[in-house]
Amino acid sequence: MKPHFKAASLGLAASLVMAGAAADVGKDERLKLVLEPHERHLVLLEMRNFLHVLQTMTDSLTREDMKTLAEAARSMGSGAANEIPPETVAKLPDTFKMFAGTVHTTFDTIALDAESLGDPRHTLKQMGTLMQTCNACHGIYQVSTEPFPPLKRGGLTSGKTTAAKPVR
């Protein structure tokens, strides 16, 4: 899929998601990505890293420091895509993985264009497109942890106490 078509498709998805979200602000109907707590931490850490890098890039743009901007963008490019363990990635839906891949390759493109073109307005437009991808994904998914299984009350419901039996 060509980058411009992919970006347009993701932008359309973001618009549709945001329109739906505005219609019913009382209910969160996003799809849940259910992960173990340590997996959720890694996925959310990567997202926080995206935000940190975007802040660095925005600050760099205000100073037209395209070298620092390119370095920051490159730090979250394709080279950073393999920081989530394969067993966690296997639990994620294909669409989520597509969004993540698009984000990483967009950071790569921004880094290359910042170095070769040095045009802050062009970079700002690319960052806007990148944020559309982030918004689309966040509008579709929420990351949660594996719920605990229901407690087996046994004798507790009848007023008796029973010793817990170890699970083997």
Q: Which DSSP category does 155 fall into?
A: G
Cβ-based neighbours of 61, under 8 Å, separated by 6 or more: 69, 120, 123, 124, 127
Quick check: 19 pLDDT over 80?
no
Q: How far is CA 88 from CA 39, 82, 93, 116, in A?
A: 6, 11, 11, 36
pTM (2 decimals)? 0.73
Banded model confidence at residue 25, pLDDT cuts 50, 70, 90: confident
Domain ranges of the chain: 40-148
What mean pLDDT value characterizes the chain?
85
3-state secondary structure of 23: helix
40-80 confidence digits (pLDDT tens): 999 999 999 999 999 999 999 999 999 999 999 999 999 99
DSSP secondary structure, 30-75, as one string: PEEEEE-HHHHHHHHHHHHHHHHHHHHHHHHHHTT-HHHHHHHHHH
130-145 average pLDDT score: 97
Banded model confidence at residue 161, pLDDT cuts 50, 70, 90: very low
78-88 confidence digits (pLDDT tens): 999 888 999 99
- CATH fold of 40-148 reads Four Helix Bundle (Hemerythrin (Met), subunit A) (1.20.120)
**Amino acid 109: pLDDT:** 99
Cβ-based neighbours of 50, under 8 Å, separated by 6 or more: 76, 103, 134
Cβ-based neighbours of 21, under 8 Å, separated by 6 or more: 139
